[in-house]
Amino acid sequence: MDKSHLPPHPLLDATLRAVPRRYRLPELDDARTPAADPNPASTLALVIEQARAALARGETPDAALKDRFTGALARMVLDAMRADGGDPVFQAMVLRHRAAPVREYASLSARADQDRRAIHAAVNAVAHPGKQQRLGPGPQREALARLHTYAGAAAWDDLQEAVQRLLETPLTPASVSETPTARALAQLLEHPALTRLRRLDALASDPLVAQYRALWDRYGPRSGSASAVAQGLSSRQRGDAAEALAAQALEALAQRLNAAAGASAPYRVVTSMRVPAAIPATHKHAKTEWDVVLLRQSAAAGDAVVGTEAWDVCLLVEVKASVDAATTDFPRLLRGLRLLAHADKDVVYPFATRQGTMPLRGAALCALPSAAAALSRTVLYCCDAPAEPTPRLLSAASRMQLLSATPTLDFAAALTATPPADARALEPVWHAMLEVPGWRAVLNQYATLRQVRELMVHTDDLLAAV
Model confidence pLDDT, tens digit, residues 391-427 = 889 999 999 999 999 999 999 999 977 787 899 999 9
The 3-state secondary structure of the chain, one letter per residue: CCHHHCCCCHHHHHHHHHCCCCCCCCCCCCCCCCCCCCCHHHHHHHHHHHHHHHHHCCCCCCHHHHHHHHHHHHHHHHHHCCCCCCCHHHHHHHHHHHCHHHHHHHHHHHCHHHHHHHHHHHHHHHHCHHHHHHHCCCHHHHHHHHHHHHHHCCCHHHHHHHHHHHHHCCCCCCCHHHCHHHHHHHHHHCCHHHHHHHHHHHHCCCHHHHHHHHHHHHHCCCCCCHHHHHHHHHHHHHHHHHHHHHHHHHHHHHHHHHHHHCCCCCEEEEEEEECCCCCCCCCCCCCCEEEEEEEEECCCCCCCECCECCEEEEEEEEECCCHHHHHHHHHHHHHHHHHHHCCCCCCEEEEEECCEEEEEEHHHHHCCCCCHHHCCCCEEEEECCCCCCCCCCCCHHHHHHHHHCHHHHHHHHCCCCCCCCCHHHHHHHHHHHHHCHHHHHHHCHHHHHHHHHHHEEEHHHHHHHC
pLDDT surpassing 60 at residue 464:
yes
Lowest mean pLDDT segment, chosen from 24-28, 205-209, 334-338, 436-440: 24-28
Instruction: Note the pLDDT of residue 168.
Output: 83
Instruction: Note the pLDDT of residue 51.
Output: 97
Instruction: Note the pLDDT of residue 137.
Output: 73
In which band, very low, low, confident or very high, does the pLDDT at 232 lie, cut at 50, 70 and 90?
low
In which band, very low, low, confident or very high, does the pLDDT at 178 lie, cut at 50, 70 and 90?
very low
Instruction: Note the pLDDT of residue 229.
Output: 61
Lowest mean pLDDT segment, chosen from 232-241, 272-281, 311-320, 326-335: 232-241
Q: What percent of the chain has pLDDT over 70?
A: 88
CA distance 60 to 91: 34
φ and ψ at 60, to 5 degrees? -100, 125
pLDDT, tens only, 442-460: 999 999 999 999 999 999 9
Q: Where are the domains of the chain?
A: 1-80+230-466, 102-220
In which band, very low, low, confident or very high, does the pLDDT at 281 lie, cut at 50, 70 and 90?
confident
In which band, very low, low, confident or very high, does the pLDDT at 30 lie, cut at 50, 70 and 90?
low
Question: Bigger pLDDT: 465 or 305?
Answer: 465
pLDDT surpassing 90 at residue 135:
no
Mean pLDDT of the chain: 87
Highest mean pLDDT (candidates 97-101, 185-189, 390-394)? 97-101
CA distance 438 to 324: 20
pLDDT surpassing 70 at residue 327:
yes
Q: Which of 60, 40, 35, 27 is nearest to 434 (CA)?
A: 60
In which band, very low, low, confident or very high, does the pLDDT at 274 lie, cut at 50, 70 and 90?
very high
φ and ψ at 108, to 5 degrees? -70, -35
In which band, very low, low, confident or very high, does the pLDDT at 231 lie, cut at 50, 70 and 90?
low
Instruction: Note the pLDDT of residue 302.
Output: 47
pLDDT surpassing 50 at residue 8:
yes
pLDDT, tens only, 346-361: 999 999 999 999 999 9
pLDDT surpassing 90 at residue 314:
yes
Instruction: Note the pLDDT of residue 261.
Output: 78
pLDDT surpassing 70 at residue 219:
yes
Instruction: Note the pLDDT of residue 175.
Output: 39
Question: Bigger pLDDT: 146 or 129?
Answer: 146
pLDDT surpassing 50 at residue 301:
no
